[in-house]
Every structure is written in structure tokens, then in C-alpha cells.
Amino acid sequence: MTTVTPVRSSEAPLQLDAFIDGRAARSGKTFSVINPATGDVYAEVADCTAEIAAEAVDAAVAAFASWKKTTAPQRSQLLKAWHAEIICNQESLARALSSEMGKPYTEALGEIAYAAAYVELYAEEATRIYGETFPSQHAHKRLFANRQPVGPVYAVTPWNFPAAMVTRKIAPALAAGCTAIVKPAEQSPVTALLLAGLWQKVGGPAGTLQVLTASDPAAVSQVMFDSAKIRKLTFTGSTDVGRMLYEQSARTIKRVSLELGGHAPFIVFADADIEKAVNEVMLCKFRNAGQTCVCTNRIYVQRPILEAFNAALSKRVQALRMGDPADPDTQIGPLVDADALAKVKRHVADAVAKGAKVLVGGDSPQGLYFSPTVLADVAPGMEILTEETFGPVAPVLAFDDEDEVIRLANDTPYGLAAYVYTRDLSRAFRVSESLEYGIVGVNDGAPSTAQAPFGGTKDSGIGREGGKWGLEEYLEVRYVSIALDQ
């Protein structure tokens, strides 16, 4: 696998090798990537073994020795070229992404642009890895600190953003002078392979970026956790898996970044412009059919506007176009797999059994599709209020006052994203400062952007991705003291 293969329809599955040390790697076994919209096999991908994982470690270590010595402008130039290639191939990458996990094509185009923005940002940030000097109490000593790459990195990514979760980790790693092994999710490894092919095409040296595809993530990951030469784990995915990999990283004291699950509250105060608030909820909730870690899971609406809000939201949700992800007009595609659909169905059934009312949707009309849904009369004790649903379901609850809603919003082990809608500036400050979350959108349902720090508190993770913060995660501080001859 070295270049972007034209995306075919379901007649003949793509055959893709892993990408190890600048070469195609295969184990003799493959696993299938299923197009969730059609159920067809979209690709057959190399199923890497522990032996291939060990080769990847050796290649990452060997490449690190030379990559860390490249100059910042050299790394910057390569990243700029990679960015240009990604933009040039935006449409074919978006088609592949859409085919492997069902994201509507128009949204997939947006994800490729978002993914490319991280590459562009870190191409620039690569040249701004500054050091500091500081005074000594001894006249003959000169003290300074500079930043070094942490070393070879193991990056584990989820299926819901097959492009952006790769570049958000890999672009800063490469900019810092690290090498990286990406293990993409088994549901959506194709986009990662295509991105790596483009990195090679622009001259990215062998071993700097490798893609280890595997149907058994635990087996190949074990090799990474056993190796003291892999100096960092960066993981995006569920809290349960993140916690386990964090523990496994302890043995070799790896640096760790974890971007985990969320359970985002969206608070709408009675002073809000209802139509504008609904616009932001739509953006926040229904992207990627609700399969986004920063999607709202609980919409708290102040009682005086509850009825009007529910009516306005229902009207907009009713109008969403569900359909073939390949159609540029489609807004809601299928869920990624049968487990995802089963979870959404379970949450809705549990809520309805406990008294929630379905205002729109509530059913699965075909295959892996679940209709965009609005639930009213949602109340404590329902599973949907504590577990991440990861589906196109908007649960609405009433609240009465500010203190009450802050308490409710913070009453979760998660701390990724929260949203507040109000026209009162003082309230916007008060509430955003009281929310125990890494990201707060004030009148903004889609705050994510490459130059901002993205990440959570509590069970939502450790560290930040994006902006200058994302680069620091791949750098160690080295202190040097020089004693001059006296």
C-alpha cells in the first residue's frame, strides 16, 4: 500500500496491506471492513500479528535515531507537503472514510479538512519549539532548558473520526521529532492507511509513520506495552479501554495521553433565543449520527421555555435527511455496527419504560439505521443519563434554577465537553467557570478546532490535543547546566 487507491463500490473489496517500515506488510490473514450502510465487505485488510508489531517497534526505533536529528524546518516542509496531498485527495479520502464507517459524504469531506488542519497547524508549530535560559546563583554557570522529542509513540485511534484522530496525534508527534505507530480501530483502518500512503508519497522516511492493522488489538498492543523503547501511548477511545491501557503503560513508565468518553450536558436558559439554541443543539447532537465524544447526551432546558424548545427541536429533527451516506444530501447515516445499534435501542427502550415520551423518531427503520430522535420527560434513573449513547437521540430534561442545573451537569464521572446557551454575559461566565469540563461551548455547539486545546477531566482523560498544548505532549524538557572555566 503506497498510494491512494481509487475507491470502488461494493463489487470487489479493496485488498490492503499494513504499512510497516515503509513497506506493505501482510501476515497471510486478513479481516473484513464492513460498509455499515450496505453490509458489504468494503475492504480486506492485513491482520497483523505480534511478530509484525515487533518489526514495527524496531523500525520506529531505528527511524527515530535519524528523524530526531532533522531540523525543524525540514519536518515542517514535509508536513506542509503532506497537508497539500491530503487536501488534493480530499474527495477520495472522504469517500473511503464514508464507506468504511458510514459517515455521510458531505460530513466526511469536512472531517478530511479538519484532519488536514492539524497537519497544517503542526507544520507551523514545528518551527516554534523554543527553549529557555534562566539565571544561576553562580557567576560561572549558564543554565538552559530545551525540548526533546519523547521518542517512538504508540497511537491507538477510534473508528468515529478515522482521519482526524490520526492527524491530531501524528502531526504533532512528527513535528516534535517523534516516530509513530498507529493502530487504527478495526472498523475503520482504511483512511489511516491512505493517509500513511500520502506521507510516504511526499517523502516521509520509512519507519516515521507506520500503520499496524489488526483484528485483535490486545495482542499487537501487548508488544508495545512490553517494549521500553516505545516511550509514549496516545489513546482515543472508550474510558474502559483507556483505563486498561493506562495501567499497562505503567510497567515501562510511558508518557500517556488519553482522550476518552464523555457525557456532555447542554444547558439552555430561558433568556436564550430558542431558534439559535436549537441550531447549536442540532450541530452538537446530530453530527456523525450522534457518534461523537463531544455530542450532547443531556439537554437541560429551563422550564418557562421547555414546551417551545421541544417543539422547535422536534421540527428540525423531523426534517433531517437520513439515507445513503454516499449521497451528498444525506445528513444521518447508519450507526457503525450492530453493537452500536443495540446500545441506542436499549437506551431508548429503558427511557420509554421509565416514563420518557418519544416526540420524534424512536425506531430503527432498516439495517443499522436509527431514526433521529427527541425524547421528552427524561428523568434521573434512566440509563441514557449516565451512559454514553453514541447515537442520534436527544434527551430533554427540565430545570428551574442555575445552581440546580450546575449541580446536575457536574453529576457525572465524565468531564469532556459541556455547553451553555444564554444571552446573559454574567451568567455565561458564572456557569462556564462552574462546569467541571475540559471544553465549554458558550452559545457554541461546535467549539472543536485545530488550534484549541481538546481534552477532558476526570474519566474523560489526561492531556490535551490541538494547538500548542498538543505539541507539548510529545516533548520532554531537557535541562542543561554549563560550568565555564574560571
Q: Pull the grid cell for residue 306.
A: 421547555
Least distance from ligand NAD to the Cβ atom of residue 363, Å: 23
- Under the binding rule (CB under 6 A), the answer on residue 269 touching ligand NAD is no
- Under the binding rule (CB under 6 A), the answer on residue 107 touching ligand NAD is no
Closest by CA to 325, choosing from 21, 40, 12, 3, is 40
Residue 426 has, within 13 A of its CA and on its CB side, a CA count of 1
Q: Does an H or E element contain 441, and which?
A: strand 439-442
* Piece of 7-15, 29-37, 254-262, 424-432 that binds ligand NAD (CB under 6 A): 254-262
- Under the binding rule (CB under 6 A), the answer on residue 234 touching ligand NAD is no
One of 65, 88, 218, 228 touching ligand NAD (CB under 6 A): 218
What is the C-alpha separation between 181 and 350, in angstroms, rounded? Answer: 41
Q: How buried is 376 (Cβ within 10 angstroms: 0-12 exposed, 13-18 middle, 19+ buried)?
A: buried
Residue 293 annotated among the catalytic residues of the structure = yes
SS3 361: coil
Residue 259 annotated among the catalytic residues of the structure = yes
Closest by CA to 470, choosing from 118, 152, 182, 232, is 118
- Under the binding rule (CB under 6 A), the answer on residue 85 touching ligand NAD is no
SS (H, E, C) 113-164: HHHHHHHHHHHHHHHHCCCEEECCCCCCEEEEEEEEECCCEEEECCCCCCCH
Binders of ligand NAD among residues 149 to 178 (CB under 6 A) are 156-161
**Closer by beta carbon to ligand NAD, 220 or else 356:** 220
Strand partners, 478: 146
Indicate left, alpha or beta for 450 from its phi (over 0: left) and psi (-120 to 50: alpha): alpha
Least distance from ligand NAD to the Cβ atom of residue 220, Å: 8
One of 237, 325, 362, 392 touching ligand NAD (CB under 6 A): 237
Q: Pull the grid cell for residue 464.
A: 490535551
- Under the binding rule (CB under 6 A), the answer on residue 334 touching ligand NAD is no
* Site mask for ligand NAD (CB under 6 A), range 415-444, x = bound: -x----------------------------
* Piece of 180-188, 226-234, 276-284, 370-378 that binds ligand NAD (CB under 6 A): 180-188
Least distance from ligand NAD to the Cβ atom of residue 81, Å: 27
- Under the binding rule (CB under 6 A), the answer on residue 36 touching ligand NAD is no
- Under the binding rule (CB under 6 A), the answer on residue 388 touching ligand NAD is yes
Q: Pull the grid cell for residue 195.
A: 493517509
* Piece of 50-58, 203-211, 237-245, 272-280 that binds ligand NAD (CB under 6 A): 237-245
What is the C-alpha separation between 193 and 296, in angstroms, rounded? Answer: 31
Least distance from ligand NAD to the Cβ atom of residue 182, Å: 9
Strand partners, 242: none
- Under the binding rule (CB under 6 A), the answer on residue 185 touching ligand NAD is yes
- Under the binding rule (CB under 6 A), the answer on residue 265 touching ligand NAD is no
Residue 404 CB neighbour total at 10 angstroms: 12
* Cα distance between the two ends of the chain: 60
> Which of 55, 259, 280, 465 does the annotation list as catalytic?
259
**Closer by beta carbon to ligand NAD, 309 or else 390:** 390
What is the C-alpha separation between 459 and 239, in angstroms, rounded? Answer: 6
**What is the total residue count of the chain?**
486
**Closer by beta carbon to ligand NAD, 75 or else 169:** 169
**Closer by beta carbon to ligand NAD, 254 or else 316:** 254
- Under the binding rule (CB under 6 A), the answer on residue 236 touching ligand NAD is yes
Distant-in-sequence, close-in-space partners of 433: CB < 8 Å, separation ≥ 6 = none
- Under the binding rule (CB under 6 A), the answer on residue 262 touching ligand NAD is yes
* Piece of 112-120, 230-238, 316-324, 373-381 that binds ligand NAD (CB under 6 A): 230-238
One of 293, 341, 385, 439 touching ligand NAD (CB under 6 A): 293
| Residues marked as catalytic | 259, 293
Binding site for ligand NAD (CB under 6 A): 156-161, 183, 185-186, 217-218, 221, 236-238, 241, 245, 259-262, 293, 388, 416, 456, 461
